[in-house]
Amino acid sequence: MFAKQLTVFIENRAGRLSEVLSVLKENKVNILSMSLADTTEYGLLRLIVDNATLGKEKLIENGFSSLLSDVSIIKIAHTAGSLQTLLKVIDKGGVNIEYMYGLSIESEDAYVVLKASDSEKIDEILNANGVKTLSCEDLAHI
């Protein structure tokens, strides 16, 4: 299963990030997880939200770039070595991870969001190995 990630390209200008967040807030789009990949010139704000389609629409209306992409949200045990175990599984399957970020919601479990080089294959690999993937709604209800 894939989740829709919302990505916004933002220039490194004061206040830009908070403007993005205020557009989402005004439209009651709730942020579940986020990561900011930044370079010296710009940043890519990657968001997992409860309503990605609405978020995208409203951001574009407000003059931001905005796109949706398929990512996998995976629940892993909040214990030492569990992330490494997951990566080994993915490695063995022969796909590359483009990027990855994590969030911890509960005390026992952690969640990671990852984007693989081959989205079809990553799903197969995860399913074959019994790794559970979540949708944005699943995440929203935790």
Partner 1 sequence: MIWNETKECMSRDQMTALQSARLVKLVDYMYHNVEFYRKKMQAIGLMPGDIKGLEDLTKLPFTTKDDLRDNYPFGLFAVPNSQIVRIHASSGTTGKATVVGYTRHDLDVWAECVARCMTMAGVTKEDVIQIAYGYGLFTGGLGAHDGAQKIGATVVPMSTGNTKKLTTMMIDFGATAIACTPSYLLHISEALAEEGLLDKIKLKSAICGAEPWTEKMHKEIESRLNIKAFDIYGLSEVMGPGVACDCEFHKGLHVCEDHFYPEILDSATLTPVADGEVGELAFTTLTKEGIPLIRYRTKDLTSLDRTPCECGRTSARISRFKGRVDDMLIIRGVNVFPSQIEAALVEVEEVTPHYMMIVDRVNNLDTLEVQVELDQKYYTDEIRVIEALTKKIAHVIQQALGINAKVKIVEPQSLVRSQGKAVHVIDNRKLY
For residue 131, the minimal CB distance to partner 1 (Å) is 22
State whether residue 76 is helix, strand or coil.
strand
Single residue of 28, 79, 88, 99 touching partner 1 by CB under 8 A = 99
Residue closer to partner 1 by CB (options 106, 118) is 118
Compose the 23-62 pattern: x for residues touching partner 1 by CB under 8 A, - for all others. Answer: --------------x-x-xx-x-x-------------x--
For residue 130, the minimal CB distance to partner 1 (Å) is 27
Q: Which residue has the tokens 């952690």?
A: 110
For residue 117, the minimal CB distance to partner 1 (Å) is 10
Tokens of 86: 């997951």
Whole-Å CA distances, 135 to 4, 26, 132: 8, 23, 10
Q: Round to whole Å and give the CA distance between 54 and 91.
A: 34
